[in-house]
Structure 1
Amino acid sequence: MKYTPLSIPDIVLIEPEVFGDHRGYFMETFRQDDFNKNVGPYTFVQDNHSKSAKGILRGLHYQIKQSQGKLVRVTSGRVFDVAVDIRKASPWFGKWVGETLSAENKSMLWIPPGFAHGFYVLSDEAEFTYKCTDYYAPEHERSILWNDPEIAVNWPIDTDPVLSPKDEKGLPFGSAEVFK
């Protein structure tokens, strides 16, 4: 696998080596020793899988306690995936990184604890899987407005996205709880 730190170097794009022929393909999607060497010694405790239709935006979510690192990938379709650094002491505080992840490019994104995360579905449907370093704790979950002008994520959107009621009530970045 190829590991490439992005403009916020704690966010890492991971591109698997794909072995294909007329029968199909094979690839490793995770290998603990390789991940530890290239990213860090994280332990994953929960795997999640979601399916969404075109135009749905999920995020920007995080947990203020039990912060989750996430290793994300798309198994069907295509999404624009975003991570926002909400670690107050970070030199990248309030900055974001976005990548297109798809079943075709097979790329993954590592988002460490301390980041808000979201994605926008670009294809008719998308299935999104991710490994988490801590358990889901709804009492600690928070949401930042997807279109907060202070963060200014450049979403590839030409109409209003479909949001959950929770995401419609996301807080402006300046009012959100962040990591000290």
Structure 2
Amino acid sequence: MVNYRRDRTKGGTYFFTLSLKNRDTDLLTRHIKLLGRSFRRAKKTNPFVTKAIVVLPEHLHAIWELPQNDDDYSTRWRQIKTYFLQEVLHWGEPLLRNQRNEYNLWQRRFWEHRIRNETDFFHHVNYIHYNPVKHQLVQNVSHWPYSSFHAYVNKGIIAKNWSDHSEQGCYGESD
């Protein structure tokens, strides 16, 4: 069994990737309001600040900033995954169970990377915002509705045409 080593920097800023087991579904975007409700519910008991996010049909990327003296992002993701599962079951989404009698919704693990500095932060923000184009869901970042890109545009941080002349694959993929 692999021994996962997670970075546990209290008050850290982290980039995450979470995926559904079924990579051919649109469950996350089809139930975007339920996912949002799951995030808000988890935040009530274990606060965090979402710095950037994109939700694609079967996976999501996010950057969170944790409170000082707190490094427990795993509990937050477990809550979000559990709350979302409960919500979609409540609304009648047919889900199969595995041999452990668990629902086959989320992949068991998630990917995490601690943001090291401002350059690393913006590199990952750009990766998040460009992801719908990378996956050929839209031709322009501004056309994807489930992204913090629109908040960045509204705050004047990024221009609406930011990705018009970008080379595909140049965001977030190098260390």
Same fold flag (TM > 0.5): no
TM-score by length of 2: 0.29
Greater helix share, structure number: 2
Q: TM-score, normalised by structure 1?
A: 0.28
